Amino acid sequence: MFKRIFLIIIMAAGLNWYTAIPVFSVNYAADEQINISVYEAINPAIVSIEAQLDDGVSAGTGCIVSTDGLILTGSHVVDGGESIEVKTSGGQLYKAKIVSKMGKNNDLALLKIEPKQPLKTIKFGDSEKIKVGQKVLAIGNPFGFAGTLTQGIISRIDYSKNKIQTDAAINPGCSGGPLLNTSGEVIGINQSIYNPDNNISNIGIGFAIPINDAKKFIQVAKLTKK
């Protein structure tokens, strides 16, 4: 009987020692922490877009640029859209209207929704300061998988066509989404991928419109609206 009681005491003491072990938080590598921090800060300002067309649905991504619901995206995402629906990262659905559009070469559009409360917005970077080789991140809605983060580098800057080339994975549904630097600033708006063999998926050659072009477009659109 004494042995049994002694054994129970030992087991209880061991259990107390085990439960007293502190639980430590996960230690992420510096590069991982950058990805996590940028994503958590910017994803709330990114939306998914669906435009109803005569022959189907055009899906894309958008960046919230004002707290009252102004959204930057690609014009080809909403061209011909009879009805445009925007979904926030939190799952709220809104009907959107087109405020302004640019032509195919610049491929930018502004949408407006009417949120019930102020929205999170992106941070603008300076595309004049970008360098080939610098790390970039992209957030988008590829194939309907909203809030997808990918990473890569700036592979090339095409000055003649005014495009940023990147190997960060950009797929159908990512058009209009942000190309970000590691400070979480948007330096480009993702536009297209290169697929010479008619493969609709990413092969590591994507293009973005420099954000400085988008900033000028937004400014002109706001002045015109006034």
Note whether 208 and 179 are within 8 A (CB): yes
Report the candidate in 115, 122, 110, 124 with the shortest Cα–Cα distance to residue 68: 115
* 201 labelled catalytic: no
Among 76, 100, 127, 167, which one carries the catalytic annotation? 76
Q: Residue 41: how many CB atoms within 10 A of its CB?
A: 15
**Catalytic-labelled residue, pool 75, 167, 175, 213:** 175
Which residue out of 48, 58, 100, 107 is catalytically annotated?
107
Please list the alpha-helical segments (H only) found in the chain. Answer: 2-19, 30-42, 75-78, 211-225
**Token code pair at residue 164:** 């940023």
* Annotation marks residue 213 as catalytic: no
Active site residue 83: no
Contact 194, 170 (CB under 8 A): no
CA pair distance 50, 173, nearest whole angstrom? 9
Single-letter residue type at 83: S
- Which residues carry out catalysis? 76, 107, 175
